[in-house]
Chains A and B, each alone.
Chain A
Amino acid sequence: MTRGFLRAWFRTLLIQASWNYDRLIGVGVGFATEPLIRSLPGGTQGDRYRAAMARACSYFNAHPYLAGLAVGAIARAEHEGATGEQVERLRRALASPLGSIGDQLVWSALLPFATSVGLVFTAWVSPTVGIAAFLILYNAAHVWLRTWALAAGWRGGIEVASQLKTPFVQWGMRAGRRIAAFAIGVAIPAVVWWRLSDFGPDEIPRAAIGAALVTLAGIVVLRRIWPALGSLRFGLAVLAVAVVAGWIG
């Protein structure tokens, strides 16, 4: 099973490869589950294997790093002889929590935190140290999370839900976003000063006031007036205005 576990782990790296609007990551989950169910009675030509594969590829959505938990749990349930209906219930029960917990732990906490650390190191030490710090910090947590998820799923099987109540998950969801918000707060002045300090001494106050006014306008527009605009379109709009102003001025 160790070899199957390793294969499944590597396949979880491709779990979103065939992301689509019909089954979302369902086919990727089937692809990652396959090495773990090869040893079902009857082997890869048997009816149980094929039925399990067909089930594993149906609609599913979860955070990609935590989807391994579903992969492990589904494979274990198939080995323990769960019925198709039980496996389907397990999938339905896991999809929402794995999406929500993953979004809160990774996209709202780990990623902005590690990014901010990278930005601060870029500004205060050097760009190469910045990206190295970011990639090492982020991927240490990322690889650990993927491994934990797959192993926890395999351990838990049909009773896997209890694995999501572990203290690190609860703590991460509670404190992670605050730490990330703090880190972004530290990173912004570091990055802004890193580049604006290259302006001439006479230009720095004007540049800083100008940038602050654009920021204020952006926050008002994006929070109050037109949230659907998004920061990318807002950025393009004000840059276009600046280009025209540069031509006229």
Chain B
Amino acid sequence: MIEHTPWLVLWGVVVGLDLISVAQTMVARPLVAGTVAGLITGDVLAGATLGAILELFALDVLPVGASRYPDYGLGAIAATATASGAPWLLGTGLGVMVGLVVAYAGGVGIHAVRLRNVRDLTHHAAVLAVGDARGITLIQVRALLRDALRALLVSSAGIAVGLAVHRWFPLSAAGALYLVVVAVGAAVAGAANGVIRVTAAERWFVLGLAVGIIGVILL
């Protein structure tokens, strides 16, 4: 597992930048970040499982401008590092737990980067006042580097925590089962809360649930 760490960290930087600073193509969504992390570690199912569960949590987030929100993409990478190579029942619950902690830390990091950006603007107020294009480009570049550093630090620390939890966290088979059940239940609660809050279309949600249940039965 340790041999995959540099690639996971590199993937973490890409994911961290995509969340806000670069393009927002949604490779930062936990489903994508987790599945690709699983491809890197050789355990796609673990990555996709954790990505899907954290994706349900992420559906509760409306990432509008000034709001503070978790970085679930980095969370999914750390979660995959935690669970890769372990039987899915043992790894999934712990992976979700690590993923949520890292997602929270990533969100705190975003706030810190934004505060540093304000300080940078204050230092270079003259550049903005006179419309100096080169100076403005440099402000953008410095801000990008700050966000890349955030992603690097959070993903490195998150993967390290994940590997430590994978190796040393004491958990019985029954405890692992509780964790999976609770993680799935909490994730669905997050998604349902997001539907009600973000889309305000509960009837359509219930109709979709019915279709989904029929689909599960038929397939």
B97 within 8 A of A: yes
With A18-B117, A54-B128, A186-B212 known as contacts, the answer to whether A195 contacts B92 (CB < 8 A) is yes
Query: Quick check: B181 and A214 within 8 Å, CB to CB?
Result: yes
Q: B170-195: which residues lie under 8 A (CB-CB) from chain A?
A: 170-172, 174-195
Q: Contact: A181 with B190, CB < 8 Å?
A: no
Q: What is the 8 Å Cβ interface bit string for chain B, positions 27-68, against chain A (1 contact, 0 not)?
A: 101011001101100001101110111011111101111100
Q: Could you tell me the distance between the alpha carbons of A182 and B66 in the complex, rounded to whole angstroms?
A: 28
Q: Are the CB atoms of B136 and A193 closer together than 8 Å? A: no
Complex A-B: 30 CB contacts under 8 Å:
A16-B24, A17-B21, A54-B128, A57-B136, A112-B198, A115-B59, A124-B219, A127-B35, A127-B48, A131-B36, A135-B27, A178-B204, A182-B204, A185-B208, A188-B192, A188-B212, A189-B209, A189-B215, A191-B52, A215-B185, A217-B189, A218-B189, A219-B189, A231-B187, A231-B189, A232-B60, A235-B186, A236-B97, A241-B182, A243-B171
- Does B157 sit at the interface, judged by CB under 8 A? no
**Residues in chain B near residue A199, CB distance under 8 A:** 89, 177
A236 in contact with B101 (CB, 8 Å): yes
Q: Which residues of B contact A27 (CB under 8 A)?
A: 121, 128, 136, 139-140
- Identify which of A28-36, A85-93, A153-161, A164-172 touches chain B: A28-36
Give min CB distance, B12 to chain A, whole Å: 17
Nearest A-chain residue to B117, judged by Cβ: A20
B70-119 interface with A by 8 A CB criterion: 70, 88-89, 92-93, 96-97, 100-101, 103-104, 114-115, 117-118
Q: How many A residues have CB within 8 A of the partner chain?
A: 105
> Which residues in B have their C-beta under 8 angstroms from that of A107?
62-64, 198
List A residues 1-29 near B (Cβ within 8 Å).
13-14, 16-25, 27-28
Q: Does A83 contact B (CB under 8 A)?
A: no
B190 x A218 contact (CB < 8 A)? yes
- Our pick among A22, A131, A181, A195 for the contact of B32 (Cβ within 8 Å) is A131
Report the nearest B residue to A31, measured CB to CB.
Answer: B140
Partner of B186, one of A238, A243, A249: A238
Contact with B along A175-219 (1 / 0, CB 8 A): 001111111111111111111101100010001001111111111
**A residues adjacent to B (C-beta < 8 A):** 13-14, 16-25, 27-28, 30-31, 34, 44, 49-57, 61, 64-65, 99, 103, 107-109, 111-112, 114-115, 118-119, 122-124, 127-128, 130-131, 134-135, 138-139, 142, 177-196, 198-199, 203, 207, 210-219, 221-223, 230-232, 234-236, 238-239, 241-243, 245-247, 249
Partner of B194, one of A65, A112, A131, A134: A112
- On chain B, the residues within 8 Å of A119 by CB distance are 31, 52, 55
CB distance from A88 to the nearest CB of B (A): 14
A210 pairs with B181, CB closer than 8 A: yes
By the criterion CB–CB under 8 Å, are A231 and B60 in contact?
Answer: yes
Out of B53, B136, B210, name the residue touching A30 (CB < 8 Å).
B136
B residues lining the A interface (CB < 8 Å): 20-27, 29, 31-32, 35-36, 38-39, 44-45, 47-49, 51-53, 55-60, 62-66, 70, 88-89, 92-93, 96-97, 100-101, 103-104, 114-115, 117-118, 120-122, 128-133, 136-137, 139-140, 142-144, 147, 170-172, 174-196, 198-202, 204-213, 215-216, 219
Residues of B within 8 A of A30 (CB): 128, 131, 136
B104 / chain A contacts, CB cutoff of 8 Å: 232, 236
Could you say which residues of chain B place their CB within 8 Å of the CB of A34? 133, 136
Number of residue pairs spanning A and B whose beta carbons lie under 8 angstroms apart:
353
- In the complex with contacts A19-B117, A184-B208, A243-B179, A54-B185 CB distance below 8 A: no
In the bound complex, residues from chain B placing their C-beta under 8 Å from that of A242 are 93, 175, 178-179, 181-182
A103, chain B: closest CB distance, angstroms:
6
Residues of B within 8 Å of A65, CB to CB, are 24
Query: Quick one: which of A16, A190, A231, A241 contacts B20, CB cutoff 8 A?
Result: A16
User: Closest CB of chain A to B147's CB: distance in Å?
Assistant: 7
Contact A44-B133, Cβ < 8 Å, known A112-B198, A127-B48, A181-B199: yes
